[in-house]
Chains A and B, each alone.
Chain A
Amino acid sequence: MKILGISAFYHDSAAALLCDGELVAAAQEERFTRIKHDESFPTRAAAYCLKAGGIKSGELDAIAFYDKPMTKFGRIMETYRAVAPGGLAGFLKAMPVWFGQNLWVPSELETQLERLGQVMPERLIFAEHHESHAASAFYPSPFEEAVVLTLDGVGEWATSSIAIGRGSELTLEKELRFPHSLGLLYSAFTYFTGFRVNSGEYKLMGLAPYGEPVYAQKILDHLIDLKDDGSFRLNMEYFGYLTELRMTNDRFAELFGGPARSPESRITRREMDLARSIQAVTEEVVLRIARHARKTYGIPNLCLAGGVALNCVANGKVLREQIFDRLWIQPAAGDAGGSVGAAYVAYHQSLKQPRTVPSAGDAMKGSYLGPSFSDDEIGDWLSQCNYPAERFDDDEVWADQVSGELSSSRVVGMHQGRMEFGPRALGNRSILGDPRSPEMQSTMNLKIKYRESFRPFAPSCAADTAHEYFELSEEDESPYMLLVAPVRKERCVDTSAQRDDEDLISWVNEARSDLPSITHVDHSARIQTVDEMQNPRYYKLIKAFGKKTGIEVLINTSFNVRGEPIVCTPEDAYRCFMRTQMDVLVLGSWVLHKETQPEWADEGDWRQEFALD
């Protein structure tokens, strides 16, 4: 049975293919169109999935869409009916999009399938938004039974939900409804601190450790009525998203001592403290919900999905509090993952197919679900373009060569194997560096990624030795870079005495541990544990780097520049490599050195290609 899952028309549209319950392929449209957070119908991603699965015309059994558009439309109309005459600008902006496209999902699906040379299958299935999220978290998880928490901005009406998954059944038990949303609360602060909504939330999370939670009580007193069981309502008198084209209003600004920060302007102590405060409140909400769910249902396993589940600091807190025995987080926890969830809903819930729990690990295949490129194809392309490169077919020699570059503090662009699904680069479309260098964080931020210098980098480490570097037990895993844990105390250095609190750059350049480039200012790190089975080549590279340096950890950041989607093809990778100050590019078994490449010339300023996120 072959099911194509689709998420589209809000942000991060994506497609996923499920064949007889096995997730065969999944990809986000942005990777193909090169438009960050592309919301358009994922035609290219769907085309890739169908080709990856070898699906010919007429072979699809069902198409599953990740939400119920008419119910969502009903919610929007109900909202305007409640707030009119306020909200006119939003109404005028939203309605043409709805009448022009979003209300006609079935016919849009048919048209796009026709473009792909497919006929519309008999079954068209609409899952609810939070059900899609919950399904994406439960069905691929390693659990027979689990509590599933979904926390995001908004779907149809639900903004947070608690579901119970048992075998092939998934039941939504409780929900919180729009406009009371943890995701939108976090986004309001993202907006207020000058970052882009639906994109800058992870920057706010990265900024939080620089601040103090001085506004946390104010948030709890004025903005949110939080109950012991984690349920809450927002005081909408402070928010603008119901009636205006902005997230917060003047009253909100008054509460926090002035207007919102302008994008790209200097980050002040207030923004750092706001970031820390909203992070603290978010963690408190998530912990209370988790405790309530554990107490109510008594199930020892927890699955998480929804945009808020990408808040790896909060996830780390849930893990360390040991509210649940085991935790699994969908790597594509945002709306892109809805395509996977919708396909699973169709398979198990609608078509009543049985579920087989994976005997080892999970069913996400390390999230390596995107396109890959063979060495021969890459070789043909390199010789066509006259780009000098060296090929290393033996993995051991390859790892030795690349780790040698890394240990000499050279920055390596890594493009190998299948592209990752979800927002994280997990070693196949990554920029890698040496974590021992204290300057590496600002160098990589400013000269390679062209992004804000305060932003931390994540470490990749071998799963079997992660506990030697981080406060994790030998059993703890974080294969999808969705958990934050402290760097081990004996590796850390207390630098607070000589710190200039107002100067972000001096903070960033502090040597906070013997792994300074991946140790955030609060001595934490967003960890990826690399398993030999899941990504053998990347694992070998980390081990080879360990042999040379004694440290089995690498800096891993996504292979892109600010505002650009993560690279997909070798061409994307080469372009990004030549535009930035990366030293070495790895394309499968091929290794390219910057100094031997022909001169690269762009027409005009290439940075204009990507809108800043």
Chain B
Amino acid sequence: MFTWSEMPDPLPTPAHRRWVMFVVPCLVAVIVYYLGHHVAAGVLLAVGITVGIGTLSSVGFARAFERMAAFLSLSLGTGLRWVLLAPFYLLFMTPMALFNRLWAHDPLQLGLDKTKETYWSTPPKSSGYDRPY
């Protein structure tokens, strides 16, 4: 029987993720240093070391840093989707859709057919259980 004392605790951030939080800014600092931006590299290294010590010594800090990183990446993603995804949609998907319509191709089978007796179809053969497709 599952008891109260066994309720799941708040989840710790996995160790490898905390190491990543430390190593990535330091690596970027090294690259920036070799590109000749020594001040920027110094700042990055300082940030990397601070984050590294914080995340490796405190799960709470690691969690807070993860939340902040997630918020920043979400904000960045929100902006980038207009820059990257909208042109892709308009320049790549839209012409394909227009060609479909031009040749009366109906991939979603949107048309109604009053003469048909049934809309049931046979499911496609499964690719098996080991694949996510």
Question: Which chain A residues in 37-56 approach chain B with CB under 8 Å?
Answer: 43-44, 47-48, 51-52
Q: Is the CB of B4 within 8 A of A177?
A: no
Q: Do A227 and B108 form a contact, CB below 8 Å, given A69-B132, A91-B89?
A: no
Residues of chain B lying within 8 A (CB to CB) of residue A418: 2
Chain A residues with CB under 8 A of B116: 227
Closest B residue to A85 using CB positions: B94
Stretch from A70-78, A433-441, A536-544 that touches the partner: A70-78
Q: A74-B133, A233-B119 are in contact. List 5 more A-B contacts (CB 8 A).
A: A48-B2, A84-B94, A84-B96, A91-B93, A126-B129
Surface stretch bound by B, among A92-100, A276-284, A398-406, A523-531: A92-100
Contact (Cβ within 8 A) B108 A85: no
Closest 6 CB pairs of A and B: A70-B133, A47-B8, A231-B119, A84-B97, A350-B129, A84-B93
Judge whether A32 and B112 touch: CB under 8 Å: no
- Asked if B100 is at the interface of the complex by the 8 Å CB criterion, the answer is yes
* Inter-chain contacts of A44 with B (CB < 8 A): 8, 11
Interface status of B77 (Cβ within 8 A of chain A): yes
Kindly state whether residue B110 has any CB partner on chain A within 8 Å: yes
* A88 x B89 contact (CB < 8 A): yes
For this complex, 17 residue pairs linking A to B, each with C-beta atoms less than 8 Å apart, are A25-B2, A44-B8, A70-B132, A71-B132, A82-B110, A83-B108, A85-B93, A95-B81, A106-B132, A125-B129, A158-B123, A231-B118, A233-B119, A242-B108, A349-B129, A371-B4, A374-B3
B54: min CB distance to chain A, Å: 19
Q: Is A532 an interface position by the 8 A CB rule? A: no
CB-defined contacts of B94 to chain A, threshold 8 Å: 84-85
Q: Is the interface of B mostly helix, strand, loop or mixed?
A: loop
A176 near B120 with CB under 8 A, answer yes
Closest Cβ neighbor of B131 among chain A residues = A126
Q: Are A88 and B86 in contact (CB under 8 A)?
A: yes
| Contact across chains for B107 and A124 when beta carbons are under 8 A apart | no
Q: Determine whether the beta carbon of B8 is less than 8 Å from that of A82.
A: no
Q: Give B94-132 interface residues, CB cut-off 8 Å to A.
A: 94, 96-98, 100, 106-114, 116-123, 126, 129-132
Chain A proximity mask over B17-41: 1 for CB below 8 Å, otherwise 0: 1000000000000000000000000
Closest Cβ neighbor of A179 among chain B residues:
B108
Q: What 0/1 pattern do residues 58 to 99 of B give for CB contact below 8 A with A?
A: 000000000000000000011001100110011001101110
Q: In the bound complex, what is the Cα–Cα distance between A78 and B110 (angstroms)?
A: 13
Contact between B118 and A229 (Cβ–Cβ < 8 Å)?
yes
Q: Which residue of B lies closest to A73 (CB)?
A: B133
* Given known A25-B2, A82-B100, contact A345–B14 (CB-CB < 8 A): no
Interface contact A92-B121, CB-CB below 8 Å: no
- For A100, what are the chain B residues with a Cβ–Cβ distance below 8 Å? 77
Q: Would A233 and B6 be within 8 Å (CB), given that A85-B94, A85-B97, A106-B132 are in contact?
A: no
Bound-complex Cα distance A96 to B70 (A) = 13
- Quick check: is A161 within 8 A (CB to CB) of the other chain? yes
| Residues on B with beta carbons closer than 8 Å to the beta carbon of A371 | 2, 4, 7
List the B side residues contacting A373 at CB < 8 Å.
Answer: 3-4
CB-based contact B4/A114 at 8 Å: no
Most chain A CB within 10 A, of B90, B94, B114, is at B94
Answer yes or no: A607 CB below 8 A from chain B CBs.
Answer: no
The CA-CA distance from A378 to B121 in the complex, in Å, is 54
Q: Are A225 and B14 in contact (CB under 8 A)?
A: no
A9 CB within 8 Å of chain B:
no
A295 interface residue per 8 A CB criterion: no
Query: Interface residues of B toward A: which range?
Result: 35 or more
Question: Is A172 an interface position by the 8 A CB rule?
Answer: yes
A126 lies within 8 A of B119 (CB):
no
The distance from the CB of A583 to the nearest CB of chain B, in whole angstroms, is: 25
Interface contact A78-B108, CB-CB below 8 Å: yes
Q: Is A235 an interface residue (CB 8 A)?
A: yes
A594 at the interface (CB under 8 A from B): no
- Tell me if A128 and B126 are in contact (CB < 8 A): yes
Q: Which A residues are in CB contact (< 8 Å) with B90?
A: 84-85, 88
Kindly state whether residue A111 has any CB partner on chain B within 8 Å.
yes
Q: Which residues of B contact A613 (CB under 8 A)?
A: none
A416 to chain B, nearest CB (A): 13
Chain A residues, Cβ within 8 Å of B133: 68, 70-71, 74
Pair A127/B118 contact, Cβ less than 8 Å: no
CA distance A354 to B88 in the complex (A): 49
Q: Confirm or deny: A208 has a beta carbon within 8 angstroms of a beta carbon on chain B.
A: no
A79, A88, A131 — most chain B CB neighbours (10 Å)? A88
Residues of B within 8 A of A225 (CB): 112-114, 119
For B109, what are the chain A residues with a Cβ–Cβ distance below 8 Å? Answer: 177, 180, 233
**A25 vs B13: C-alpha distance when bound (angstroms):** 25
Complex interface bits, A332-350 against B, C-beta within 8 A gives 1, otherwise 0: 0000000000000110011
Measured CB to CB, the closest approach of chain A to B21, in angstroms, equals 14
Q: Cβ of B130: which chain A residues have Cβ within 8 Å of it?
A: 123-126
Contact of B8 among A48, A91, A92, A176 (CB under 8 A): A48
* Least CB distance, B30 to chain A, in whole angstroms: 27
- Please state if A227 and B119 are interface contacts (CB–CB under 8 Å): yes
The yes or no answer to A581 lying at the interface (CB within 8 A) is no
Which residues of A are found within 8 Å of B11, using beta-carbon distances? 43-44, 47, 115-116
Determine whether A22 belongs to the interface, using a CB cutoff of 8 Å to chain B. no
CB of A159, distance to nearest CB on chain B (Å): 11
| CB of A382 closer than 8 Å to a CB of B | no
Cβ of A52 and Cβ of B2 under 8 Å apart? yes
Instruction: For the complex, give the distance between the alpha carbons of A172 and B114 in Å.
Output: 26
Contact (Cβ within 8 A) A82 B108: yes
A569 close to B (CB within 8 Å): yes
Q: When A84-B96, A179-B110, A350-B129 are in contact, do A174 and B123 touch as well, CB less than 8 Å?
A: yes
A236 within 8 A of B: yes
Given contacts A84-B96, A374-B3, whether A176 and B121 have CB atoms under 8 Å apart is: yes
A418 to B90, CA, bound (A): 53
Which of the residues B1, B5, B12, B119 comes within 8 Å of A180, measured between beta carbons?
B119
Chain B nearest Cβ from A248, distance in angstroms? 16
Q: A52 — which chain B residues lie within 8 A by C-beta?
A: 2
Residues B1 and A372 in contact, CB atoms below 8 Å apart: yes
B120 and A174 contacting across the interface, CB-CB below 8 Å: yes
**Is A612 close to B, CB under 8 A?**
no
User: Which residues on the A side are within 8 Å of B123 (C-beta)?
Assistant: 158, 161, 172-175
Q: Restricting to A107-123, which residues have a CB under 8 Å from any CB of B?
A: 111, 114-116, 123
Find chain B residues with CB under 8 A from A392 CB: none
